[in-house]
Amino acid sequence: MKPADLDALWMPFTSNRHYKASPRLLCAADGMYYTDDSGRKVLDGTSGLWCVNAGHNRRPIVEAIQRAAAVLDYAPPFQMGHPQMFEAATALAGMAPAGLDKVFFVNSGSEAADTALKIAQAYHRVRGDAARVKLIGRERGYHGVNYGGVAVGGIAGNRKHFPVGLAAVDHLRHPLDIDRNAFSRGEPAFGIELADELESRIVTLHDPSTIAAVIVEPMQGSTGVILPPKGYLKRLREICDKYGILLIFDEVITGFGRLGAPWASQRFDVVPDILTCAKGLTNGAVPMGAVLVKPAIHDAFMAAAVGERAIEFPHGYTYSGHPLACAAAIATLKLYRDEQLFERSAGMAPAFEEAAHSLRGAPFVKDIRNLGLVAGIELESRPGEPGARGYDVFLKCWEKGVMVRFTGDVIACSPPLIIDSAEIGRLFATIGDVLREIN
């Protein structure tokens, strides 16, 4: 493409000027590989953007979307429905952690987060407990880019340009502790006491009767693969139960097999009251997200509405439950089951862990964190240039035909669940080669 062909588009989360000077164009994809505009095959080490869990161009998903487009291009979701909308909800509820069997469809992880926050606040209100409006997030948390998600999120760069849209928000400390937990394999041993801060500081400061919900990612992916210490999430669950606070898990990244179980909730044996998902729900083929809630939450809205024609929850989107998205979701969930991809993820995890930790001792590596088929390799920052070394690794890996993700000076790897041993070896060997080449 010529430079003029790139000019109209303002790209998201991208250094536009630097990118357009030397664009990286993805033109096709199949299985584990992208094809760029020169015809070169590029190993996908990031599942696109944490979303193509079943690999690219899977025929059952593609064909389901094609069939749906030929039959029903659009159906309004307000006061109307279509069969696949209900079928998709039933399929997702059937795969969800036990007790989360009511489904509200949205179009992205960002919308799922904001929807979950609204459900949490409105739930307390319909129960007659309207003082519970405060929302507790976590430092370095990522819950999308809408105003609610940014407010409870804890990424400074995502917040500094915008006035915080929600005033009644506070944040827990994040659990990353490299001094005590460097090069942990799986859940870190130290840090469960950080969960106690919810009770010792947050609850004490705000009064538990004013707190609606706590929202956390079971594993913080977007800020560098931050894993919960052993027992940490269970402790949060206990404190929330003690004070009547809802617990929300943002599983937009961790859902659908990423950690070696269908959900992080199951991997850590902690069931939240509300769970958000997106990305792997449709294998990235069509934008879609969902919020899953316990029946007691759903039923509280039904019971509080006056008259059977009343709208119980005045919220939704034009494209909620879009026919093409539902077709993609139904086919994707079936593919996960038919090919036992979650079990495959668990089976490949030991080889993935060994390959990731083989980089210990490589130049600039200060920590490696992993669980399931995700790993974060944290690098020493260049003095006065935070993030520059991570960006260089990303670019050099691309030149060598491997796509990784960088977040600051952390290299994140989260390949499709269909990756094989040779591809795992190539992924981490390429990162190692690059680390030995860069400054």
SS3 per residue for the chain: CCHHHHCCCCCCCCCHHHHHHCCCCEEEEEECEEEECCCCEEEECCHHHHCCCCCECCHHHHHHHHHHHHHCCCCCCCCCCCHHHHHHHHHHHHHCCCCCCEEEEECCHHHHHHHHHHHHHHHHHHCCCCCCCEEEEECCCCCCCCHHHHHHCCCHHHHCCCCCCCCCEEEECCCCCHHHHCCCCCCCCCCHHHHHHHHHHHHHHHCHHHEEEEEECCCECCCCCECCCCCHHHHHHHHHHHHCCEEEEECCCCCCCCCCCCCHHHHCCCCCCEEEECHHHCCCCCCCEEEEECHHHHHHHHHHCCCCCCCCCCCCCCCCCCHHHHHHHHHHHHHHHHCCHHHHHHHHHHHHHHHHHCCCCCCCEEEEEEECCEEEEEECCECCECCHHHHHHHHHHHHCCEECEEECCEEEECCCCCCCHHHHHHHHHHHHHHHHHCC
14-58: pLDDT as tens digits: 999 999 999 999 999 999 999 999 999 999 999 999 999 999 999
Per the model's pLDDT, the better-predicted residue between 361 and 4 turns out to be 361
The pLDDT score that the predictor gives to residue 68 is: 98
Judged against a pLDDT cut of 90, whether residue 109 lies above it is answered with yes
Average confidence (pLDDT) over 240-267: 98
Note the pTM of the prediction, 2 decimals: 0.97
The pLDDT score that the predictor gives to residue 164 is: 64
Q: CATH number for the 63-338 domain, one of 3.30.700.30, 3.40.640.10, 1.20.1250.20, 2.40.128.110?
A: 3.40.640.10
387-405: pLDDT as tens digits: 999 999 999 999 999 999 9
339-387: pLDDT as tens digits: 999 999 999 999 999 999 999 999 999 999 999 999 999 999 999 999 9
CB burial of residue 160 (10 Å; 0-12, 13-18, 19+)? exposed
CA–CA distance, 63 with 53 (Å, rounded to integer): 18
Give the domain 3-54+340-437 fold: Aspartate Aminotransferase, domain 1 (3.90.1150)
Percentage above 70 pLDDT, the chain = 100
Judged against a pLDDT cut of 70, whether residue 428 lies above it is answered with yes
Average pLDDT, the chain: 97
Average confidence (pLDDT) over 238-265: 98
The pLDDT score that the predictor gives to residue 136 is: 98
| From-to residues of CATH 3.90.1150.10 in the chain | 3-54+340-437
Per the model's pLDDT, the better-predicted residue between 123 and 4 turns out to be 123
CA–CA distance, 146 with 159 (Å, rounded to integer): 11
Residues 6+ apart with CB under 8 A from 192: 229, 230, 231, 232, 235
The pLDDT score that the predictor gives to residue 160 is: 84
154-199: pLDDT as tens digits: 998 888 888 767 779 999 999 999 999 999 999 999 999 999 999 9
The pLDDT score that the predictor gives to residue 162 is: 83
Average confidence (pLDDT) over 86-95: 98
Average confidence (pLDDT) over 69-97: 98
| From-to residues of CATH 3.40.640.10 in the chain | 63-338
Average confidence (pLDDT) over 256-270: 98
Q: Which two tokens stand for residue 82?
A: 């279509």
CA–CA distance, 160 with 325 (Å, rounded to integer): 33
